[in-house]
Amino acid sequence: MTDSKSAVYILSGGSRNVRLQALSMSIFLTLRKYVITLVPIWKSRDSSIITHADLGSRDFRTDDYSLDPVTFEFLQSKFGPFDLDCMASSTNAVTSKFFSRYFSVGTSGINFFAQTLDLEENHFCFPPVKRAVDAVKHLARFRTKGIVVIPVWPTSQIYSFFFPDGVHAADWVVTLDFINPRFISGIKVGECFKGYQVFKTVALGFNFRRQGLSFTPSFDRFLCLKSGCSQCL
């Protein structure tokens, strides 16, 4: 069964395309050799069978990246133990409990944004950059605690959410640690999140039990990207 009508036509009767016809003949001769009967059947993409089959390929994503074990152990020793990896998959989860984007073996829930979070748990969140703001808002909604890992990209749309004045973290951030991770990436991830990179990466500690979201910069040298400046107290 396949959601490709072209594949059904070609496997059933061949193709006028020379390359595709050669592949079709190769398949046909191999089936004959092993006495296998192949019956191509088209199914709509909305079919439950096709939807289920697609889950296997969709787990290989352009946001399939994680931190190297040494960096994670540093964060674990300082802020852990962590109870939940908010956005992960079976191949890169750093805790036994994790939420995944699609179905993944061992997942505790599909779609982080659809989950009710436990305020007693310590959360590790390394979100795709484009979902970082939404992730923090979801964590704040349930008054959670933990850390969020983000790259320091001053030109990105999310930058002012985390650093309102461009230098100091927002005052909902309780700790700021510079890290130099090696990014471990899936096969479809671009070069930006592969290996070591030149941009700064930070782990921002939060505790929304004590304070909600706000966007006032915290003039604290420990929450300063310059590790202290003329504005810091």
**Three-class secondary structure assignment of the chain:** CECCHHHHHHHHHCCCCHHHHHHHHHHHHHHHHCCCCCCCCECCCCCHHHHHHHHHHHCCCCCCEEECHHHHHHHHHHHCCCCEEEEECCCCCCCCCEEECCCCCCCCCECHHHCCCCCCCEEEECCCHHHHHHHHHHHHHCCCEEEEEEECCCCCCCHHHHCCCCCECECCEEEEEEECCCEEECCCCCHHHCECCCCCEEEEEEECCCCCCCCCECCCHHHECCCCCCCCC
pLDDT > 70? residue 70: yes
Q: How far apart are CA 118 and CA 176, in angstroms?
A: 23
Q: pLDDT tens, 72-83?
A: 899 999 998 999
Q: What share of the chain has pLDDT > 90, as a percent?
A: 49
Rounded mean pLDDT of 20-29?
A: 92
Q: pLDDT tens, 193-219?
A: 656 777 889 999 999 988 888 888 888
Residue spans per domain, the chain: 5-58, 65-223
Q: Comparing 98 with 54, which gets the higher pLDDT?
A: 98
Give, in degrees to the nearest 5, the angle at Cα 50 between 59 and 45.
105
Rounded mean pLDDT of 3-31?
A: 91
Report domain 65-223's class: alpha beta
Q: What is the pLDDT of residue 215?
A: 85
Smallest CA-to-CA distance from 65 within 88, 98, 96, 94 is with 88
pLDDT > 80? residue 184: no
| pLDDT tier, 64 (very low <50, low <70, confident <90, very high otherwise) | low
Q: Comparing 170 with 193, which gets the higher pLDDT?
A: 170
Q: What is the pLDDT of residue 45?
A: 80
Amino acid at 68: D
